Amino acid sequence: MKNNKNFKKNNSFRKPVRPMERVEVRKVSINEIDLNSRGKVSIMGVVNRIVQTGGPTLFVVGDGTGNLSLKGFIGPGLRAFPEINEEDVVKAVVSINEYQGELEGEISSIRKVVDEEKKEFLKSLSALEKERAKVTPPEFLVKSQILEKLRPRFIEAATQIRLAIIQDRPIIVRHHNDADGYSSGYSLERAILPLIVKQHSSVKAPWEFFLRAPSQAPYYEIDDSIRDMANSLRNVAKFSNKMPLIIIADNGSSPEDLMAIKQGKVHGADFIVIDHHGFEKDVISDEVLVHINPFLVGEDGAHYSAGMLATEFARFINPEVENIKQIPAMAGFADRIDLGNPEVMEKYLEIAKKEGYSKELLSDIALVIDYVSAKVRFMEVREYVEVLFGEPRARQKELVSLMAPYIRNLDKKGLQIGKSNAKQEKIGKVILQTIEVEETFPGFGFFPKPGRAVGLIHDNYQTEKKVTSLITAGIMSTAITLRATDEANFSVHEFIIFLNKKIPEAFVEGGGHKNAGSITFLPYKKDEVVKLLKEFIKSR
């Protein structure tokens, strides 16, 4: 038949060929993606991390609106698309799926974006991130001259925090280990965590990108700084994380904080400080992104606690933050702000009452927080702290009603023990009350803690003896905890200066407020420090 020139091909025997279907691939931003994103979508973004699992390779990609994990699979444990590296800009066509409750994209195709297209994308990415980080300043919960003066610092700091979240930077909140410190840390946590969840489209992301940790010392000490950097550097090496933004709350403004902050900066961490403690000289502002403290704007930190400031500040970070309006009243009463700023405290109390919190309940919550903080020490205990602050509120009230009477009995016991060994002497018009803490109270784990015990003894003596000019000193082998009334004309900061002039070899350090704080010194100088305390009181 091949030689038959008259033979014609019979095309009727061919299987008809259907034209190739063109699948429409929609280009989307990551924040537009949800489980209703049917079919394949095209995204463009920066590869922030690559994780090789025992199955697929995961590429965590961000486009300025959010992050999405893209899954590539060529074999169990085998590296898919080895030409793609971290910090590359890529275009990918993916199918959207759900895995363990989180969205992910299964890669159909992926390629690097280079040259001008890459530059243009990175430029637009930077602009988008800055736009998203912008703050819409809310009205404050109460009218306050202090808050208005701090407003520009709130805006700047909130912008930095929002930008860190958008840029996938972990955030560490370090706070003092008392009721005011926990109030500060929790308010910030409530504002930040929802933004992290939204950024990463993952309810698990807060465990990777956020840490809140109490500091036992009344400053950000070098031990905490080294631990924070060691853990962060490990996460950089292990998970390709970035170095963190660290927020120091209810600490951070004193010279004692400086070395720890500088040590963190060496490793690439940045810092924001929100505090209300006084200082002789501001050595912190030049070392941090933003420093928030009433003393920096000519106001007294005794008129606003850190928990009050942090709650107002949290609303700048996240205007939709929930369950924090009652916190300023609780933090303020816990830190005795009602003595220095009663009008503002009354306004915060009215807000708390609308949330279902009486002054008595707030005091009980603060009492339980103080007790729990003494027991958990350095632990984060995120879920337990959530219960203490009312998540859920029914369990909070059940827990507080159970524990508060028990803790009040411990306070009564501590007060009776303290009174039994407290000594008073008159120096001019001032009564100095002293107690040898280590000789009087049981050792490690005893509640009330030394600072609280000294406060109880100080308040009780004022009430019982109707004394208005009183200084109480809880003396330990290397430290003294101090409480004073306004009439006593005392100053913790001036006392520290006085000691360092008189006995520089004692290496006295410390801080706090004018009438409440603590100092440390070398143990062999204890008797001399106590002698100079009396001399200092007499000189004033």
Mapping DSSP to helix (H, G, I), strand (E, B) and coil, where does residue 283 land? coil
Domain identity same for 430 and 393? no
Domain identity same for 377 and 285? yes
pLDDT of residue 244: 98
For residue 218, being part of any structural domain is answered with: yes
Range of the domain at 352: 134-403
For residue 8, being part of any structural domain is answered with: no
Tally of structural domains, the chain: 3
Domain identity same for 106 and 142? no
Single out the residue of 231, 257, 365, 306 nearest to residue 513, CA to CA.
Answer: 306
For residue 413, being part of any structural domain is answered with: no
Domain boundary among the residues 92, 125, 158 is at 125
For residue 176, being part of any structural domain is answered with: yes
pLDDT of residue 321: 97
Domain identity same for 215 and 331? yes
pLDDT of residue 168: 94
Task: For 44, list phi and psi in degrees, rounded to 5.
Answer: -135, 135
Domain identity same for 151 and 196? yes
pLDDT of residue 14: 40
- Residue 114 is part of a domain; what is its CATH number? 2.40.50.140
Task: For 424, list phi and psi in degrees, rounded to 5.
Answer: -125, 145
The packing angle between helices 306-317 and 145-166, to 10°, is 50
For residue 14, being part of any structural domain is answered with: no
Domain identity same for 382 and 502? no
Dihedral sign for Cα 447, 450, 452, 455, please: positive
pLDDT of residue 207: 94
Question: What H or E segment, with its residue span, contains residue 401?
Answer: helix 393-421
For residue 340, being part of any structural domain is answered with: yes
- Residue 493 is part of a domain; what is its CATH number? 3.10.310.40
457 and 433 Cβ atoms separated by less than 8 Å: yes
Place of tokens 């309940």: 361
Domain boundary among the residues 66, 99, 125 is at 125
pLDDT of residue 23: 53
Domain identity same for 283 and 351? yes
Domain identity same for 154 and 215? yes
The packing angle between helices 359-376 and 179-200, to 10°, is 80
C-alpha radius of gyration, the chain, whole number: 30
Helix and strand numbers (H, E) in the chain are: 17, 17
Domain identity same for 112 and 236? no
Domain identity same for 75 and 219? no
For residue 409, being part of any structural domain is answered with: no
Phi-psi region of 100 (alpha: psi -120 to 50; beta: other; left: phi over 0): left
For residue 500, being part of any structural domain is answered with: yes
179 and 331 Cβ atoms separated by less than 8 Å: yes
pLDDT of residue 100: 85
Query: What token pair was written down for 67?
Result: 């992050």
Distance of CA 186 to the CA centre of its chain: 7
Task: For 469, list phi and psi in degrees, rounded to 5.
Answer: -120, 90
Can you give the pTM of this predicted structure? 0.88
pLDDT of residue 102: 86
Partnered with residue 533 across adjacent β-strands are none
- Residue 164 is part of a domain; what is its CATH number? 3.90.1640.30
317 and 192 Cβ atoms separated by less than 8 Å: yes
Single out the residue of 380, 383, 381, 327 nearest to residue 355, CA to CA.
Answer: 327
Question: What H or E segment, with its residue span, contains residue 58?
Answer: strand 57-62
Domain identity same for 385 and 428? no
Q: With a cut of 50, list the residues of the chain below it in pLDDT.
A: 1-22
Domain identity same for 68 and 121? yes
pLDDT of residue 280: 84
Query: Residue length, the chain?
Result: 540
Query: Could you tell me where the DSSP H helices lie in 111-244?
Result: 115-133, 145-166, 179-200, 205-209, 222-239
Domain boundary among the residues 97, 125, 153 is at 125
